[in-house]
Structure 1
Amino acid sequence: MSQMVRTAKQLGAYIQDARARKGISQQQLAEVIGKQQKTISSIEQGSDGTKLETLLLVLAALDLNIEISARTKASQNIGDIF
């Protein structure tokens, strides 16, 4: 399944959904990646300050990948960008 994500909150919600689909708790995910449960909670809330390396560990633990693509310029409205 592919999902476009443009904000930290959207990414956090997607990660939370993926974790729930796997049937694991925040604590279990945190243990797998060697972090604290509050780190997972922070990521899922879309909080600022998450290290890229931590995010990549979370994605790997959930069997997710990041795909980067160019944004289309169909709209000039700044609200459509974010």
Structure 2
Amino acid sequence: MPDRRDQDAIARALALGVLDGAALGDRLVVRARHGDGARDALGTLSARSPSAVTIDTRRGPVQVPLADVVAAKPVPPPPAPRQRQR
């Protein structure tokens, strides 16, 4: 049975594969280590370099170092805005 470190390494490898295969403009969520915890960036992939990806979120662009990535996956488009009730 794989231990926790093996599972983390597998999840990280899968996440880096998702980021490598994603096209600019794809909608993703990326989880990265941040201090003692983790932080998520949800939005569209706007840039990629050998060491980082940039995710355009509702709050602005977030640069995520690949060394800190622990998980990533594609997500569907956001739901359409609701009609206002009168």
Q: Same-fold call, TM > 0.5?
A: no
TM-score (norm 1): 0.29
Q: Larger % of helix: which? A: 1
Q: Larger % of strand: which? A: 2
TM-score (norm 2): 0.28
Max radius of gyration: which structure? 2
